[in-house]
Amino acid sequence: MNVHLDVKRAAATTTAALLVVLGLGSGIASADDTPADTSVMINTEPPQTTEPTDTDVADVPADQADVQPDIPGSGDSGSGNHPGGQICDRVNVYTPTAKGKDYHVGVGAPNANHNGTNHTAKSSFTAEASGTVGISVSGGLTISVNAMIGKIEQKYNVDLSASLTAKLGNNIQVDTPAHKTTHASYGVYRLRNQGTSYVIYSNCQTSAKKTVTSYTPHYVGWYIWETN
């Protein structure tokens, strides 16, 4: 399992007092999984699980990842088939077309720590919840979810999974500026991707091509943001 600490404001050592986390609760992988040299990105807003416009995506149960979609009319050969016409092998097609960014799905409640001093101080967060995050896909996919994942991995040279589990025990320390609040959420980053999916019928005609949006588990990690 790949674990990233997605943060990029250097966590320099300070002489300020150590701030104890006020709230604990976020899924995590074991501390051994955390690369020692990974930096952290400090964000200014809470995480988004999906793009706000992607209102038609739905979760796919893990046991359905290899199931072929039930496509209306899949038993026929498409319109316009006639004796002596063209003959093609019937194929369900999915082609990745647009690789997006990663979106964070928190596991458990986020943590928060306020620095009320006039100095930068260190905040320490520990995840105390565990949970599994799966894939979400919009309608129109004509192949199985796992087959779609394989197409995306091959085109963009990424490692994806139908589901990833954020486990207990991971800890992170980041700098909290004076009079700021640091928030921390542990969970799963999912890669947004769009692709085109359709059916080629045995008479070589095609069904309507649909744009399919998917959010596929990419890696487990922290999402950090600051507020005043």
Which of the two residues, 24 and 153, has the higher pLDDT score?
153
CB atoms within 10 A of CB 209: 14
- Phi and psi at residue 156, to the nearest 5°: -105, 5
Instruction: State the pLDDT at residue 72.
Output: 61
Q: Report the pLDDT value the prediction gives residue 82, as an integer from 0 to 100.
A: 47
CB 208 within 8 Å of CB 128: no
For the chain, percent of residues with pLDDT exceeding 70: 77
The arithmetic mean of pLDDT across residues 25-34, rounded, is 31
Which band of pLDDT confidence, cut at 50, 70 and 90, is reported for residue 31?
very low
Q: CA 94 to CA 147: how far, in whole Å?
A: 9
Q: Quick one: pLDDT at residue 89?
A: 87
pLDDT over threshold 50, residue 111 = yes
- Where along the chain do its domains lie? 3-47+56-64+85-227
What is the pTM (predicted TM-score) of this model? 0.79
Stronger pLDDT, 63 or 27, i.e. the higher one? 63
Angstrom distance (rounded) from CA 188 to CA 218: 7
Is 77's pLDDT higher than 60? Answer: no
Instruction: Give, in degrees to the nearest 5, the angle at Cα 213 between 211 and 218.
Output: 145
At residue 40 the predicted structure's pLDDT band, cuts being 50, 70 and 90, is confident
The CA distance from 120 to 9, in Å, is: 12
With cut-offs at 50, 70 and 90, classify the pLDDT of residue 73: low
Q: Minimum mean pLDDT among 6-10, 52-56, 143-147: which range?
A: 6-10
